[in-house]
Amino acid sequence: MSKLLLAGCLLFMTFVSGLAVRADEGTLPLSLDQVLQSVRTRNPDIAAAERRWEIQREQVRPAGLWENPRFTYIDERFPMGVAGVSAEPIRHYRIEQSIPFPGKLSEESRMKRHEALIAQSNARAKTLEVLSEARIRFYQLFLTDQKIALASQAVELLKSALKAAQARVASNQSSLSDVFAVQAELAKARNDLYLQEQQRSLAALELNALMDRPSSHTLGTAQEPVLADIPITSTEAVALARLNDPSYLSAMHELDHAQAMQARRRLDFAPDFGLLYEYESAPPGPAGRMLGVSVSFPLWFERPLSNYRSAQTHVQEAEAQAESLRRDAIRRVEREFIETTARLQVARNYAGEIVPSALANVDIPRRQYAAGQGDFVRLIEAYRSWLSAHNEYQEALYAYAQHWSELERWIGVDLSRAKELSERRPPRAAPPEMTHEN
């Protein structure tokens, strides 16, 4: 009995002394860079967004070109109107070219160019969104791996503790309540292990979907997030968002597009031109040639006037939307900056103070229980406190990584390169709408 009790205490000591939970040696580590590279090259949502951008880009140049000339060939029999005289064969060859009023096609091309820029910003936004989701799923995989390792060790510990409690009851050193308490804790630990295994399967399922891999594809253990300070200030983060945030840039391109549309609708009141060349052949008579110029202008101004008013309203809408997104860019970046800084400090507090203190709090009741003097309830409570502290530390670590990823998404660049980009290309002075006072 004493040997069994000693073995249980030694196992418990091994469990609580391991602050860093290691993955199984047979599982290959999963690199975040490899995951992100796979997502960039394989994710269908990113590919579709990039193809939409390419489609819009290919439409820019044709929008500024004249329409194709029209060639017409007519072979007719012109009746002579005299009895007994056959109809005269006449052939017509005609070429027509429509010429829009100067400025119409350039504004059409300008509109298409901004539509392509909007599609480019949308593609960039989709890429950042998917990559941010992949990072979050990656760190969720790490979180569940840590919790599975903790729950597995807790199950093994409680199995040994159950044997020790049963041995103490057999030797009249304890009551059956200790056995029942251990059995309840063991059942809870098994439930927690099962739930964490299912959470791990769900995280792997989502990550495989982002990488466009089969759901049965096996993923190794994920890397632990590195607790690092944000390399830039909040003001620098807002300035980078103004230069790189796709949603903000898309709103600015939409405003330019609306202004180009307004300029184009203004030209609807202007006339269009046409050039005509016709060659007429009527053998055996002489050939005829004709060169003509046409001018067409709208007689009814209701349609172009309505289109112009609609374009004016669209400009006002785009201005309001751009203003809203300018303010929203500040709110998102500053919120994620504060969240990331706060989660970083919480995780460091857990790693530096809370988890070691919880570990030290377990040592005294463990020694007393091993000597047959301590209270088993106190030992279980100390064990719960340490396990809860370790799980909360993992949650804080995951929350820090999640907000770090969201901050990268909203500023539009990796934080590892943010300081370099901020120093390389200092942003222009922020307009009044982008200042903190507003």
Measured distance CA(77)–CA(376) in Å, rounded: 115
Going by pLDDT thresholds of 50, 70 and 90, the confidence category of residue 99 is very high
Cα→Cα distances 416→134, 230, 232, 326, 413, Å: 17, 9, 10, 24, 8
Q: Locate tokens 């800084």: which residue?
A: 341
Please state, in angstroms and as integers, the Cα–Cα distance from residue 97 to each residue in 71, 74, 274, 342, following that order.
9, 18, 6, 67
Q: Work out the number of other CB atoms within 10 angstroms of the CB of residue 18.
A: 14
The pLDDT of residue 323 is above 70? yes
Burial class (CB in 10 A: 0-12, 13-18, 19+), 116: buried
- Write down the pTM of the prediction: 0.77
pLDDT band (50, 70, 90) for residue 341? very high
102 preceded by a cis bond (ω within 30 of 0): no
Least confident of 8-22, 158-172, 286-300, 381-395: 8-22
pLDDT at residue 419 greater than cutoff 90:
no
Q: Which pLDDT belongs to residue 26?
A: 35
Alpha-carbon gap, residue 207 to 216, rounded angstroms: 11
Does domain 2-68+103-272+316-434 fall under CATH 1.10.3720.10? My reply is no
Question: SS3 of 222, please?
Answer: strand
Q: Is the pLDDT of residue 43 over 60?
A: yes
For residue 62, give every residue at least 6 positions away whose Cβ sits within 8 Å of its Cβ, in sequence order, or none. none
Question: pLDDT of 261-296, one tens digit each?
Answer: 999 999 999 999 999 999 888 776 667 888 999 999
| Every domain of the chain and the residues it spans | 2-68+103-272+316-434
- Looking at residue 170, its pLDDT comes to 75
| Cα angle, residue 284 at apex, residues 280 and 287 outer, rounded to 5° | 25
Least trusted range by pLDDT, from 3-12, 22-31, 32-41, 388-397: 3-12
Residue 118 has pLDDT above 90, yes or no: yes
Q: 3-class DSSP state for residue 219?
A: coil
Instruction: List, in sequence order, the alpha helices (H) in 245-296.
Output: 246-266
